[in-house]
Amino acid sequence: MTDLHTHAEDIVAQFSDHLDLTVDDVEERLDNLVNEYRVPVDEARRSVVNSYLDEAGLEREALGGGGNASVGLAEIDQDEQWLDVTAKVVELWDARSDSVAQVGLLGDETGTTKFVAFETSDLPELEEGAVYRLENLVTDEYQGNFSVKLNRTTTITEVDEEIEVGDDAETVEGALVDIQSGSGLIKRCPEDDCTRVLQNGRCSEHGSVEGEFDLRIKGVLDDGEAVHEVIFDREQTEALTGTTLEEAKDMAMDALDTTVVADEMRTGTLGRYYRVSGPQFGRYVLVDEFERLSDPVDAEAALIEARSI
Amino acid sequence: MSQAPTREVARRVFAREFNDASHTFKESDDERAPVYLLLPTGERANRVFLVGTLTEKEDVGEDDEYWRGRIVDPTGTFFVYAGQYQPDAASTLRELEPPAYVAVVGKPRTYETDDGSVNVSVRPESITAVDSVTRDRWVAEAATRTLERVAAFDDESNEYARMAREEYDLSVDDYRAMALAALEGLDETDELGADADAEGLDAQAEH
């Protein structure tokens, strides 16, 4: 009973700006559903909220506060879940679409997740490195990956506290068995907010453009049990291969062919063992750190372990 | 999750077990479905990764270049064939001077000889020169994976082990002994001081 009473109070508070409700009325409706019709409490609450939304002519999004989940950013595992978080803006990325106002990475103690704010929501801008209390975010899922969306009803309050962002980096290791096409010396679209990789000098969004050179490796690490697709960005590609972007451009210029760069990279890296770590996005681990596994194998230890298998 | 077709894992298998295999199969009727080689220790292999010593290479092609390489591991010899459809691997074989440590990613291929036996070879996707540390790491890894397969051979849910029992008349205990011997061999080279050996070959392998 007290449970329903609490729910009723929450609902009244949620609608306080829109409807003049009494806790008793709300509790009675909840009680009817839960105790008379055997509806689970969550569902009952949802149903009652929906009916008040109708009454007030509101969208669910318009409801502020109350009842939002408090889940670690790295622990989000549901689509369309409403959240309140205190998080640090770890990175801001270039938005790739006009409808996106800001996109980047939010972090809390559990780790990081992508966030998107849309132009239409008309929100104040977040600053990289700052910590905010963000209320009324909603989670989104795409191909098994979760992100959070800011929306019109999101409240943003900068808070004066430091957050130690958790490390949710994936670490994978294995032999580098493939460097895929689209690796080596590539060109990216120079249009604002577009960093797409050009195919034959064409951007899939902006058509024929004068691209900007970049280096990357899309590789496959394989440990004999599983494969992991990994992406080395320019900095990591330079560290992995010892070839800088300028050197790669010179190589391509000499050969009148950009593919020599990837070929050279293959020769120097394929078949070697690496351990890499970084955040996972979609199918890829984005390499923040890597190490070549070049220590001699401890054959004696391997033998002791092997005999126990 | 991702809708992209999943990439086939590269199995770690010693030359002796690889060459003992002969049965291939598909898991769907689709023409483009992957072909698997059934390993005698009860696993399917559509791709392999191996590291060994390239001891010989020969252009066995008639009109076009067709390179055959012999790559030796502690248990036997892999045969690798690369022609015009594997231009990168073919040119690597053309340029390498044996002996050299090489890493090969490739697909198992089988063909039946006139006397009815089945030969197994590797059609490489890539061949690269590597150092002795990489080679030793592979031997240790291949031994571990082999022992894991042997250990899982009697699991009731292991459908490829069941298939191996039907298709082959081979003892998995032999592969266990082979894998342990390969590791013991590594341990011995350790004691002999692999440094001197590594220096000579590394210089060549890492150009």
- In a structure prediction context, what are the per-residue pLDDT tens digits for chain A, which is 309 residues long? 458 888 888 888 778 777 888 899 999 999 999 888 888 888 888 888 888 888 887 776 666 544 677 788 888 888 888 888 999 999 898 887 888 999 999 998 888 899 999 998 889 999 999 999 998 899 998 877 789 999 888 889 999 888 888 777 789 999 999 999 999 999 999 987 788 899 888 998 899 999 999 999 999 999 999 999 999 999 999 999 999 999 999 999 999 999 999 999 999 999 999 999 998 877 899 999 999 998 888 888 888 888 888
Report d(CA A31, CA A42) in Å as an integer. 12
Structural domain including B154 reads 10-205
Based on the fold, state whether residues A128 and A216 are members of the same structural domain: no
pLDDT value for A67: 62
Tell me, yes or no, whether A181 and A262 share the same domain.
yes
Classify residue B107: in a domain, yes or no.
Answer: yes
Q: Is B125 on the interface with A (CB under 8 A)?
A: yes
Contact residues on chain B for A294, CB-CB shorter than 8 A: 131, 133-134
pLDDT at B204 over 70: no
Supply the pLDDT for residue A239: 97
* A275 neighbors A172 (Cβ within 8 angstroms): yes
Contact A273/B131 with Cβ under 8 angstroms? no
Residue A55 belongs to some domain of the structure = yes
CA separation, residue B100 to residues A151, B37, B64, B131 (Å)? 61, 27, 25, 9
Q: Report B:3-62 residues touching A (Cβ under 8 A).
A: 3-4, 6-12, 47, 49, 51
End-of-domain residue from the set A36, A62, A88: A62
Whether residues A140 and A47 fall in one domain: no
Task: Kindly state whether residue B4 falls inside one of the protein's structural domains.
Answer: no
Range picked from A81-85, B112-116, B147-151 for highest mean pLDDT = B147-151
Is the reported ipTM for this assembly greater than 0.90?
no
Q: Smallest CA–CA separation between B187 and chain A, in Å? A: 5
Residue B202 has pLDDT above 80, yes or no: no
Residue in B closest to A179 by C-alpha:
B126
Q: What is the pTM of this model?
A: 0.70
Contact: A300, B3; criterion CB under 8 Å: no
Which residues in chain B have their CB less than 8 angstroms from residue A220's CB? 7
Strand, helix or coil at A246? Answer: helix
Q: What is the DSSP string of B75-124?
A: TEEEEEEE-TTSHHHHHHHHH--SSEEEEEEEEEEEEE-TTS-EEEEEEE
- Residue B2 in any domain: the answer is no
Chain A residues with CB inside 8 Å of B126's CB? 177-178, 266, 270-271
Report helix, strand and coil shares of chain A as percent, to nearest 5.
Answer: 30, 35, 35
Residues A185, A269 share a domain: yes
Q: Which residues of B touch A309 (CB under 8 A)?
A: 144, 147-148, 150-151
**What CATH number is associated with residue B148?**
2.40.50.140
Within a domain: residue B169?
yes
What pLDDT score does A265 carry?
A: 96
Q: Work out the average pLDDT over B114-140.
A: 95
Considering the domain boundaries, does residue A308 fall inside one?
no
Whole-angstrom distance, CA of residue B163 vs CA of residue B145 = 19
The mean pLDDT value for B174-191 works out to 87
Whether the CB of B96 is below 8 Å from some CB of chain A: the reply is: no
CB contact under 8 A, A283 and B2: yes
pLDDT beyond 50 at B34:
yes
Name the minimum distance, in Å, from the CA of A70 to any CA of chain B. Answer: 25
- Whose tokens are 């509790």? That residue is A27
Task: With respect to residue A236, please indicate whether it lies within any of the assigned structural domains.
Answer: yes
Give the rounded distance of the alpha carbon of B111 from its chain centre.
Answer: 16
Of A227, A272, A299, nearest to B190 by CB-CB distance is A299
- Name the residue range of residue A7's domain: 2-62
Residue in chain B closest to A267 (alpha carbons) equals B128
Q: How many domains does chain A have?
A: 3
Residue B105 to residue A271, Cβ atoms within 8 A: yes
Mean pLDDT along residues B152-171? 95
Sheet of strand B24-26: strand arrangement: B24-26, B35-39, B43-45
Q: How much is the pLDDT for A296?
A: 83
